[in-house]
Structure 1
Amino acid sequence: MSKVLQFNGFEMNTPSHINHGLWVHPGNRRHEYTDLGYWLDTARLLERGLFDALFLADVVGTYHVYEGGRAPAIERGIQSPNNDPFLVVPAMAAVTEHLGFAVTFTTTYEPPFGNARRFSTLDHLTKGRVAWNIVTGYLPDAARNYGLSEQVRHDDRYDLAEEFLEVSYKLWEGSWEDDAVVRDRALRRYSDPAKVHEISHRGKYFSVDGPHLSEPSPQRTPVLYQAGSSDRGRAFAARHAEAIFLGARTEEEARTIIRSVRDLAEENGRGADAVRFFAGLNVIVGETDADARRKLEQILRYRDTIGYLVHFGGSSGIDLAALGAEEYIEFKARGHIESAERSFSDRRVREIVDHFDDPFHDPFFVVGSAGRVADRIEELADTTGVDGFNLVQYLSPGTFEDFIGLVVPELQRRGRYRTRYGAGETLRERLHGAGARLPEAHPAAVHRHAVAGVPR
């Protein structure tokens, strides 16, 4: 029996997220990203479409490589301006009952204590529907924004992230025992102090006493997403992640990453099925193939190829504007862009420009009728092994509306898409079908009651 696929709506609190230039399209609401009504409408729409979650990307710097500075990114709105993704979640949670929310936060520039409280607060307010997309950051000026003289090296960022998560696990899983909150009105006793513990963490990067300021939330630790695809990123994901947003640019690369992480998760004692894999998916769907092509032609009129080159430059460190069309590009040692290096090594500049100018160069792009789109989605899932997709937008909300109105019913007819949400399920239960808490095989579990000395 073919597995039911999982879908996230891919978003960012910015005017131009992935498909650049389309904020000027007359049918696009992206410029309303500062309006709370935009986010409420998006959340209601995705819940009506039975999506797993809204996945909120984020960066804490600017793309400042193309043409030698950040001016092109700011002028074109390429992930700039960019607002905090955390602050829109409570409002969206208030108008939904089931939709999850995956929020991106970097481990490199802020200490773990405040982040732990933010996620616990969101987990309470959403009744267990929140996830953390763990990133280490890749934009050099982000480091300078947070008081560092230079960017932390790639592998050092992962060393820091390991300790960041260790502290987080101690706060979420070990600081408060399960029965620490008693709420005894007669005795005026809200919590049992003997069951609330300092974590007394002393490490290379962080010193945290505790205790955690939030009482245990439904999931305690939020669902853990991760988006790195470098070798170090895969090792990190195999140890910690419950879901991975693949940075693959080809089907073979997706298969390779999935096999690699599954093998590493097995080696870590978590099991090969401990991680769910999501690929980015670009869809233009119509009532007929001809209708979809008409939509594509209109979208291509607004597509900003330079915007893609700005984005590419910021993440790769390569200023294509400074190179001749026939020059071959040379990648620097930057782990974030390993997938791009595998895709674009030994390519001329004009070939890369052509790639971004034509969406058909992306194997995770599909255009056509609902039947054609569903065929391709099934093919991608069955040949790569992905568990689901992050649906990228061209038009907001048009992309989601078309997908929900046309593709979702077709996938439901084929048994590849849910027909209802589970009553009262947390996001972790929806993704993995087990309990609301992290399983015992996860490295966070070792911190449960460790400070109290209670056997696990």
Structure 2
Amino acid sequence: MTKELHFNGFEMNTPSHINHGLWRHPENNRHRYTELSYWTETAKLLERGLFDAIFLADVVGTYDVYDGSRDPAIIRGLQTPNNDPFLLVPAMAAVTENLGFAVTFTTTYEQPFPNARRFSTLDHLTGGRVAWNVVTGYLPDAARNFGLSDQVKHDDRYDLAEEFLEVSYKLWESSWEADAVVRDAAANLYTDPEKIRQIDHEGRFFTVAGPHLSEPSPQRTPVIYQAGASDRGRVFAARHAEAIFVGARTPEQARKVITDVKELAVSLGRRDDDIRFLLGLNVVVAETEAEVKKKLDDILSYRDVVGYLVHFGGGSGIDLSKLGAEEYIEYKARDHVQSMEAAFADKTVQNVVDFYDDPFSDPFFVHGTPDQVADRIEELADSIGLDGFNLVQYLSPGTFEDFVELVVPELQKRGRYRTAYTPNETLRERLFEGRGPLLPERHPGGSLRVGRNAARA
């Protein structure tokens, strides 16, 4: 049976997100990231293209490893400046009816109580179209922005994240019964106090009395996305994630991540189809091969290789500017990019530079005519076992426009892309057709729900 694929538009509230140097291109609108209209236009475009969601990345620090300074990142607009992703969602939701919104938030530096209310509020305002991309943070200077003298150790961050989610689930699932809100004007009763309870959580990191301040939203718990690829991150994902942004440099790495996480999920009492696996995808497409070549030559002429090395330093902790070209890399990658940078563990510095200098060496860089791009997308999805992709932009909005106008119709003809949204479905229902808007009971969050018979699928 042909499987429809899921697609998110991958974005960040910053001038240079993934493909560095492209903000200089005259047709790029990245400089408009501070304008509300940039985001509402992007949301309407993605909804026209029937995307699942816009996936909003975020960091709360700067890239300061390369050349021992944050200046190379600042100069390039490389994820700095960087504005809050949460505040974009209501505006985009107001101009769309179906598009989902996946928002990145780190569990390391803030309290779960206000975060739970933020997500409940967004889930209400969007009618159940919200996901939380759970991260623990990997930039060392982020810790100093929140009053810490040094970065919290890797495994401690995951211990903290486990408890953060436990508290969040209690607030979302255990605090309010589904019918607590009565709205009985005759009885002067808005909410039945007997159906609201404190969570009285006392743990290693958090003490939260509750109750949750928001009534149950359409999904109660937002869809849980996760991007951790370290060994500890995979266990965390297997326990909690409903969708995983697979960090990998090769198809072989991606397959291993998927196999490992599925096996871990089953060992934890979940099903191997409880998680959707998504991979980052770079696409350049045009109607003819001559146009493709022209577009490639144009886009790649703006490519800033040093920008990629700056980004690499933030993820790996390795300052390539201090190493000789033929030195081998001492692998010490950080957290969610671990499986990506591990591809360079036995490589020289020159190997890394060559990889970023030649995008054609990236197996997830897809270019060609619509049918050629669709062929490659299908090949990647089917050979790796993917459920979909996060589409990265070169030009905003040009990359999304080309994909919507040229690739989507080709994938639709092949039965690999939806031809319409299902009216009034939540984001969870879109990802897991037929399972309802709530977490299933076998999920650690769903197991805490008051009156949990509503989500047994």
The TM-score bracket by the shorter chain reads: over 0.9
What is the 5 A alignment of 1:276-295?
276-295=276-295
* Alignment deviations for residues 389-431 of structure 1 (CA, whole Å, 9 cap, x no partner): 0000000000000000000000000000000000110000000
Does the CA-based 8 Å contact 1:293-1:367 persist in structure 2? Answer: no
Alignment-derived partner of residue 254 in structure 1 = 254
User: Which secondary structure state, in structure 1, belongs to the residue aligned with residue 54 of structure 2?
Assistant: strand
Q: CA deviation at 1:345?
A: 1.3
* Deviation digits for residues 146-187 of structure 1 (CA, Å, limit 9, x no counterpart): 011110111111110000000000000000001100011112
Which stretch shifts more, 123-132 or 255-264?
255-264
- How far is 1:341 from its partner? 4.1
Hey, what's the Cα distance between the residues in 2 that align with 1:449 and 1:409? 44
State the shift of 1:333 in Å: 6.2
Matched, 1:444 2:425: no
What residue is the counterpart of 1:165 in the other structure? Answer: 165
The aligned counterpart of 1:178 is 178
Q: Which residue of 1 aligns with 2:310?
A: 310
1:128/1:400 Cα in 2 relative to 1: closer, same or farther (>3 Å)?
A: same
Unaligned runs of 5+ in 1: none
Query: What one-letter code is carried by the residue in structure 1 that aligns with 2:375?
Result: D
Contact 2:280 2:389 in 1 (8 A): yes
Q: Which amino acid in structure 1 is aligned with residue 388 of structure 2? A: G
Distance 2:39 2:261 in 1: 34
5 Å-filtered alignment, 1:161-310, equals 161-310=161-310
Give the Cα–Cα distance (whole angstroms) in 1 for the partners of residues 70 and 161 of structure 2. 27
Q: How much has 1:268 moved relative to structure 2? A: 1.2
* Paired amino acid for 1:113: F
- 398-407 or 349-358, larger mean C-alpha shift: 349-358
Q: Distance in 2 between matches of 1:417 and 1:326?
A: 45
The whole-number CA distance in structure 1 between the counterparts of 2:446 and 2:346 is 45
Q: How many residues align?
A: 452
1:327 Cα deviation after fit: 1.3
Q: Which deviations, in whole Å up to 9, do the C-alpha atoms of 1:208-228 show, x marking residues without a partner?
A: 000001011000000000001
SS of residue in 2 equivalent to 1:205: coil
- Tell me the amino acid that sits aligned with residue 439 of structure 2: L
Moved over 3 A (4+): 333-337
CA deviation profile, 1:281-318 (whole Å, cap 9, x unmatched):
00000011221111110011111111101100111111
Structure 1 residue 3: deviation in Å?
0.4
1:388 aligns with 2:388: yes
Question: Deviation string for 1:49-85 (max 9, x for gaps)?
Answer: 0000000000000000111110010011000000000
How far, CA to CA, are the matches of 1:334 and 1:31 in structure 2? 29
Provide the rounded CA distance (Å) in 2 between the counterparts of 1:120 and 1:341: 35
- The DSSP-based 3-state class of the residue aligned with 2:37 is helix
Query: How far 1:97 sits from its partner (Å)?
Result: 0.2
Q: How does the TM-score come out when normalised to structure 2?
A: 0.97
Q: State the match for 2:104 in structure 1.
A: 104
SS of 1:249 mapped into structure 2: coil
1:37 aligns with 2:37: yes
Residues in 2 aligned to 1:355 and 1:341: alpha-carbon distance in whole angstroms: 12
- Following the alignment from structure 2 to structure 1, what is the Cα–Cα distance between the partners of residues 99 and 11? 14
Q: Scaled by the length of structure 1, what TM-score is found? A: 0.98
Aligned to 1:431: 431
CA distance in 1 between partners of 2:53 and 2:402 (Å):
17
CA distance in 1 between counterparts of 2:180 and 2:337 reads 45
RMSD over equivalenced CA pairs, Å: 1.2
Counterpart-to-counterpart distance in 1, 2:393 and 2:156: 33
Instruction: Indicate the residue corresponding to 1:416 in structure 2.
Output: 416
Match of 1:68 in 2: 68
Which whole-Å CA distance do the structure 1 matches of 2:77 and 2:337 have between them?
A: 22
Q: Distance in 2 between matches of 1:339 and 1:89?
A: 30
Separation in 2, partners of 1:216, 1:110: 22
Secondary structure at 1:131 match in 2: strand
Looking at structure 1, the residues matched to 79 and 370 of structure 2 have their Cα atoms a distance apart, in angstroms, of 30
**8 A contact 1:290–1:368 mirrored in 2:** no
1:150 aligned to 2:139? no
Residue 125, structure 1, aligned to residue 125, structure 2: yes
CA distance, structure 2, for counterparts of residue 311 and residue 154 of structure 1: 19
- Indicate whether 1:376 and 2:384 are aligned: no
Partners of 2:228 and 2:337 within 8 A in 1: no
Question: How far did 1:334 drift?
Answer: 3.5
Distance 1:363 1:75 in 2: 29
Aligned to 1:8: 8
Q: What amino acid sits opposite 1:208 in the alignment? A: V
Distance 2:333 2:226 in 1: 21
